[in-house]
Amino acid sequence: MNLDDRIARLERGIDALLHRLTALPSEALYQSPREGEWPVMSNLAHVVEMLPYWAHQAEHIAHQPGAPFGRTVDDPGRLEGIEQHARDAVDVIGQSLRAALAETLHTLRAIPDSGWDLSGVHPLRGSMTATEVLDALMVKHVEDHVSQIDAALSALGYSPSQVP
């Protein structure tokens, strides 16, 4: 799989999230599906924050191989983005998702071909190449959030026919 294939998967993931926004009543977006689980909008706020973050981390690896990069799940910046945008209006989060994807793609396309195989050191995952960051922390991460949102909607009583 090359960069264009990975970017296409990211775009499909964001498109899937945007389609879910348009097909659901807004109250479904703000309800927790189960105790301790994020509502749909919190998931979306997280995607808006994390995509550009990890793109810039991949860029960092490409320009400073061997350097530490990344964060853990309790990072204040990660949590702050969720807290600030978990109550955004549908049109606002939609615009934010599009803007996050645009920034992400711009950053990823600026990484030189030679940078994708370079490694940095994540605090928990250890050594990772820029490609592994893209695959695990961006592409798969977005796809996992699509599945997580589908599960949340199902738990809230929305049938698959209501989720495009």
Report the candidate in 9, 4, 36 with the shortest Cα–Cα distance to residue 141: 9
Cβ count within 10 A of residue 83: 12
What residue ranges do the domains of the chain occupy?
3-162
Q: For 81-112, what is each residue's pLDDT tens digit?
A: 888 889 999 999 999 999 999 999 999 999 99
Is 3-162 a domain of CATH 3.40.50.1220? no
Considering only CA atoms, which of 109, 137, 133, 111 is closest in space to residue 120? 133
Q: Residue 161: pLDDT above 60?
A: no
Q: What is the pTM of this model?
A: 0.92
pLDDT, tens digit (0-9, with 9 covering 90-100), for 17-42: 998 888 788 778 899 888 888 999 99
